[in-house]
Every structure is written in structure tokens, then in C-alpha cells.
Homo-oligomer: A and B are copies of this chain.
Amino acid sequence: MTDDVLLTPGPTPVPPDVREVLGRPIIHHRTGQYRAIFKRTLEGLQQVIRTRHPVVCLTSSGTGAMEAAVVNLLSPGDEAIVVLGGKFAERWQHLCRAYGITVATVPVEYGQAADPRQVAGALTAHPNAKAVFGTLCETSTGVVHDIQGIAAVTRESQALLVIDAISGLGADACDTDAWGVDVLVTGSQKALMLPPGLGFLSLNDRAWARVDAVTTPRFYYDLRLYRKALAGDDTPFTPAVSLVLALEASLARILTTGVGPVVQRTAALAAATRAGMGALGLSLFAARPSNGVTAVTVPPGVDGKQLTNTMYDRARVMVAGGQGSMAGKIFRFAHMGAIGKEEVLAGFAALEEALGALGHPVTPGAGGKAVRAALGAVQPAEVQ
């Protein structure tokens, strides 16, 4: 057992009832018992994704599911638009380039959200673009992009809209079918409260039609094999059985509360976290902050790496630092999935202590007080 408080934007804490399932004896996947569970979990994921279309389950990290989208939706030489703005948006670009896709980018400054009009402009400039790749929550900057707005402009074109919702789904609102998102990609280790190791995609009919037409070589990620296997509630290759069984337990938690209330609860924790940061005089990095993770600018004179290390060394609270050029300049404090009010308050206590230790004193308890005040109107049960 560890006493660590994990406030990282993936992996996020795995609740005890989900961990109990992970520790059970393994079952075989070519059985009616497993197939019934697998079917139910995919139906549960449809509810979380808000889609009526089939969900594909991959044994991979989230990046594997992103790769599956690229290799099944585009052929070499096709043109695609990537909406930038962070390390994970850049992964779409790297993936596309690795597979010979011509990429037009919509530049977005780190910390800013893409303006749908920029995307509309890119679509006008690149009328042959076959896909627009975007990100719901850009985990590296804490920005939630306006996917509804981006979907509205993309719907005016022939391009498919493919969204990385790995850290966004279940934390930020995402009305996949209603908004017109064609392909949604997600992973297990964020708001789904599981260890990493499962990737998921949902594809609508337009997207599936493309899967049948593209020529990019593929095998492990050939979605045609998964579609065929899905007809028998099966996968073409051995699934990560223990994670799928645990998914049933984590989905039960989410669906018992309801997807909408889970997102609202996460939004309340995010608002409270932002209030707490404000009370400590800290600046938010994200212009359009996500519900799942709050990115905070490290105050001048404080070493960001030392800040996160001190939080962990003194209080066993782990937040994430910045990635790439944001390293040392921001830290990221997650409040999605199983993270609740108590963990957020523990995070603020650790943050206040670490800031003081690093020569940036703040009023002890000011952050936590603001968090509690912000959550005052919310029933405790809703933010556990």
C-alpha cells in the first residue's frame, strides 16, 4: 500500500472496488462469461462517449488508439488538418507524418484554445483535407478546446473530425454524436479510473466507410478485424482481460452517478481548484480551462521542478510538471475520475507548504479555504 495522493492527469487513482477486480483470478476471454462482460462494457462506454456507434477496444495505450485512427482513416499522400496547441495535439502531427500524410496545421499558442474560425479557415485553404485532428482536453496545457464549435465548421466540409478525448472524456462535456464528432479516441487511465493499458475508439458510419477505403498498411490496428470480431463480442487479438473486467466496475461507478452528474462534479472541483489557486495568488495557464486538470503558472522565483518534487517529498502528493518547453514553467493539478474534495484539499496543503519552503510564502490554508468555499453550495456526496 502507498499513501501517495495522485493528482496527476493520468494515471489517476484507481478506486478500491476497481482494484479488487484487478486482483481477482483471471478468466479466459474466449468464454461466454467474458463476452457478456465485454459487451456490457462497450455498451457502457457508448453511454460515456454519448454515441450510438460501436466502440472498439484495443490493448494499447491511448497513443495506440490515436494511431489506429490515423492508419484506418487516411491513405499515404492524403491531406489532414491538425489543430495544435500542446504536446498531445503535436502527437497527431507526428503520427500523420510517420504515415505519409500531408499535414496542414492550425497553430495555437500553448495555453490558448483553438478558435473554430481558424479551423474553418484551414478547411477553406485545404479543401481536400480528409480529416481534422483535434483534442478535447489538451493534457499538457489544461485547455479544453471548443470541440462543439470545431465540429460545426468541420461539418461544412468533407473532412472527418477525429478527437483525442483521452484525458477529456468523463471530465469535460463531450456530446460526440450530437456535435458531429466522427471519431472519438480515449484511454483507460484518466476519468475512467483504470490503470493504463486500454485504448478505445468510436467511429460513426462515415468513418467506418473510410476505414474500408484507405490503403495504409495495418494489422494490429486494422479496425476491419475488430469490427468483424465485435459481431461476436470478441477481439481479434488477446485482450487485456483484467483491465476489461475492471472497466466494468469503473463504468458501474460512472453510470450509477450518470455521465452528466460526473462531469458536473468534476467541473465543480475544477472551479474550486481555480478559486484556490487564485486565493494563493497563482495564475492559471489555460485560457479555457478543462474540468479534468488545472494548469498553473509557476510563480516567478520558484523552480517548477523543485516545487513538484517538494510537494511529493514532503507530503507524498504528486502533481505533474510541464512538458517540453513548458517544463518548469507550469504544474498540472488533476481533479478527474476518483479524485475528490479530500484529495484536492491535500493537494492544496502540499502546495502551500512547498511554496513556503521554496521562498514563496502564501497564507497557510488560504487555498483550501477557497476550495471549501467554492464547494460550499455543492452537496458533499457530489464531490466525493
Give Cα A370–Cα B63 distance, bound, in whole angstroms. Answer: 51
Question: A197 touching B59 by the CB < 8 A rule?
Answer: yes
With a 10 A CB-CB cut-off, give which of A10, A25, A76 has the most chain B CB atoms: A25
Q: Which of A38-46, A120-128, A239-247 lies at the interface with chain B?
A: A239-247
Q: Assess the B220–A63 pair: CB atoms within 8 A.
A: yes
Could you say which residues of chain B place their CB within 8 Å of the CB of A2? 24-25, 27
Stretch of A12-20, A152-160, A258-266, A280-288 at the chain-chain interface: A12-20
Counting every copy of the chain, the complex holds 2
A100 within 8 A of B: yes
CB distance from A192 to the nearest CB of B (A): 12
Contact pick for A14, options B26, B67, B76, B95, CB 8 Å: B26
A18 to chain B, nearest CB (A): 9
Which residues of chain B are near A27, meaning CB under 8 Å? 2, 4, 6, 11
Residues of B within 8 A of A20 (CB): 23
Task: Give the residue of B19, B62, B197 whose beta carbon is less than 8 angstroms from that of A197.
Answer: B197
* Contact between A19 and B10, CB atoms less than 8 A apart: no
Contact A11–B28 (Cβ < 8 Å): yes
Smallest Cβ distance from A329 to chain B, in angstroms?
17
Q: Is the CB of B243 within 8 A of A197?
A: yes
* Docked-complex contact B197 and A240, CB < 8 angstroms: yes
1/0 per residue A338-368: CB within 8 Å of B?
A: 0000000000000000000000000000000
A217, B24: Cβ atoms under 8 Å?
A: no
Q: Are B19 and A61 in contact (CB under 8 A)?
A: no
- The complex places the Cα of A20 from the Cα of B95 at a distance, in Å, of 37
Chain A residues 235-255 with CB under 8 Å of chain B are 237-243
Residues of A17-74 at the interface with B, using a CB-CB cut-off of 8 Å, are 19-20, 22-31, 59-64, 67
A270 to B65, CA, bound (A): 39
Q: Which B residues touch A100, using CB under 8 A?
A: 217
Interface: A303 (CB within 8 A): no
Determine whether the beta carbon of A23 is less than 8 Å from that of B28. Answer: no
Q: Chain A contact residues (Cβ within 8 angstroms of B): what range?
A: 35 or more
A276 to chain B: which residues have CB within 8 Å?
A: none
CB of A314 within 8 A of chain B?
Answer: no
Q: With both chains docked as a complex, state the minimum distance between the C-beta of A234 and any C-beta of chain B, in angstroms.
A: 13
* Chain B proximity of A102: nearest CB distance (Å): 14
- Interface of chain A, helix or strand or loop or mixed? loop
Q: When A19-B23, A197-B59 are in contact, do A11 and B220 touch as well, CB less than 8 Å? A: no
Are B240 and A240 neighbours in the complex by a CB distance under 8 Å?
yes
A219 to B99, CA, bound (A): 8
Q: Does A204 contact B (CB under 8 A)?
A: no
**Which residues from B are CB-within-8-Å of A189?**
26, 238, 241
Indicate if the CB atoms of B6 and A28 lie closer than 8 Å. Answer: yes
Asked if A195 CB lies within 8 Å of chain B CBs, one says yes
Interface positions, chain A 84-132, Cβ under 8 Å from B, are 94-95, 98-100
A233 interface residue, CB < 8 Å from B? Answer: no
User: Which of B8, B28, B98, B195 is the one whose CB lies under 8 Å from A242?
Assistant: B195
Pairwise interchain contact A11-B29, C-beta atoms closer than 8 A: yes
Taking the complex as formed, is A377 at the interface, i.e. its CB lies under 8 A from any CB of chain B? no
Residues of chain B contacted by A228 (CB below 8 angstroms): none
Are A218 and B98 neighbours in the complex by a CB distance under 8 Å?
Answer: yes
| B59 A219 Cβ-Cβ under 8 A | no
Please report the C-alpha to C-alpha distance between residue A89 and residue B44 in the assembled complex, in whole angstroms. 36
Task: List the 4 closest A-B pairs by CB distance, nearest first.
Answer: A23-B23, A197-B240, A195-B242, A98-B219
Q: List 17 A-B contacts (CB under 8 A).
A: A2-B25, A4-B25, A4-B27, A22-B23, A60-B60, A60-B220, A67-B219, A94-B219, A98-B218, A98-B222, A187-B238, A195-B241, A195-B243, A196-B239, A197-B197, A197-B242, A240-B243
